[in-house]
Amino acid sequence: LRTKDLKGLRVLMTAGPTMEAIDPVRYISNHSSGKMGYAIARAAEYRGAEVCLVTGPVNLPIPHGVEAVHVQAAREMLHAMESRMDGADIIIKVAAVADFYVKNASDHKIKKTYGLPVIELEKNPDILATLGQRKNQQFLVGFAAETRDLSAYSKDKIAKKNLDMIVGNLVSGPDSAFGSDQNTVTFFYSDGSEEALESMPKEKVADKLLDAIVSRMHSRRNG
Ligand code: C5P
């Protein structure tokens, strides 16, 4: 049985994919079941935190006691996070944000009888980097899914996005985390250290992550 070691702390997080409309019936998105993010939200609530989960569309129930904010496009997710970040102690960005949105999204269903549509893409805002620029005392955690060079890319993101920590996982091959109940991750910290975890259920990864955050915040407070 774990203690309520997150009591009094506010956790703001994201999970799931973002969904970028092409027209009212079509969209561009990313692979993301939401399982990892929802597991973290559940674990944080269980350990006493006040949890707000900004979530893209997924097929999972909102964990008990967690406040949910439902969004679709990345631009909505950015707004939801920016307006809530000041009250947060810990921010964890698990969501698989689409890198592009459709600039010429149609208000009406695009008809195939009109020939091939041209879909113009525009870069989405980097939500995590925006939060990194604006953060004060918040402990900011990102996720990185890569198919190769996990360590180099993760360390680069910590620096570029001004993070305290990143959870990296390799998403190629038979052990891919997508849709799976298991995950094999490495924790990377802003001081350059790293910690590779065994393959374990996402619930257990969630608790290990919260353990790591609690311990880092504690040592930060105590110099
Ligand atoms: O740069 P990359 O997409 O690999 O970074 C992954 C991390 O950045 C994740 O934590 C993801 O939620 C976040 N991210 C974001 N906004 C974007 C792209 C990624 O917040 N537009």
Structural domain boundaries in the chain: 10-221
Q: Which two tokens stand for residue 21?
A: 């409309």
124 Cβ contact list (under 8 Å, min separation 6) = 18, 20, 74, 75, 97, 98, 99, 100, 101
The answer, yes or no, to whether residue 1 has pLDDT greater than 60, is no
Q: Which atom of ligand 1 is nearest to the CA of 130?
A: 20
Between the CA of 212 and the centroid of ligand 1 the distance, in Å, is 21
SS3 letters across 140-187: EEEEEEECCCHHHHHHHHHHHHCCCEEEEEECCCCCCCCCCCEECEEE
CATH number assigned to the domain covering 10-221: 3.40.50.10300
Using CA atoms, how far apart are residues 202 and 109, in angstroms rounded to an integer? 38
The answer, yes or no, to whether residue 172 has pLDDT greater than 80, is no
Percent of the chain with pLDDT over 70: 96
Between the CA of 97 and the centroid of ligand 1 the distance, in Å, is 6
Q: Which atom of ligand 1 is nearest to the CA of 153?
A: 4
Between the CA of 154 and the centroid of ligand 1 the distance, in Å, is 11
Give the mean model confidence (pLDDT) for residues 10-39. Answer: 96
- The pTM of this model reads 0.94
Protein residue whose Cα sits closest to atom 8 of ligand 1: 128
The answer, yes or no, to whether residue 179 has pLDDT greater than 70, is no
Query: What is the tens place of the pLDDT at every residue in 66-120?
Result: 999 999 999 999 999 999 999 999 999 999 999 999 999 999 999 989 889 999 9
